[in-house]
């Protein structure tokens, strides 16, 4: 099935396999890197009051994020 119940007292489910966004960032050397963030990770961050967009540990700066149907040249 691939879905997980969101709340115990409400019939809400989330598909764990969907991606929410790709975070494009620069590392400590200034190289561009990406981090694919799953929808479930975003749900957990929101539940805990954390920002949705987070740099991986030891990284320097967020450049942009891409969501479904986003495009860049």
What pLDDT does residue 12 have? 73
Q: Which tokens belong to 2? A: 């691939």
Residue 55 has pLDDT above 80, yes or no: yes
Helix H or strand E segment including 44? helix 39-47
Q: Within 13 Å, how many C-alpha atoms sit on residue 46's CB side?
A: 8
Q: Which of 52, 73, 72, 61 is nearest to 33 (CA)?
A: 61
pLDDT recorded at residue 16: 64
Sole residue written with tokens 């700066």: 61
- pLDDT of amino acid 50: 95
Instruction: Give me the pLDDT at residue 24, please.
Output: 92
If one compares 72 and 43, the residue with the highest pLDDT of the two is 43
Whether the CB-CB separation of 34 and 23 falls below 8 Å is answered with: yes
Mean pLDDT of the chain: 84
In the prediction, which pLDDT does 19 show?
A: 85
């Amino acid at each position: 099935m691939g879905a997980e119940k969101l709340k115990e007292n409400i019939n809400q489910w989330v598909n764990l396999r969907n991606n929410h966004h790709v975070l494009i960032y620069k590392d400590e050397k200034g190289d561009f890197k990406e981090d694919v963030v799953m929808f479930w990770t975003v749900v957990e961050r929101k539940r805990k009051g954390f920002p949705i967009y987070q740099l991986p540990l030891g990284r320097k700066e967020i450049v942009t994020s891409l969501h479904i149907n986003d495009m860049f040249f």
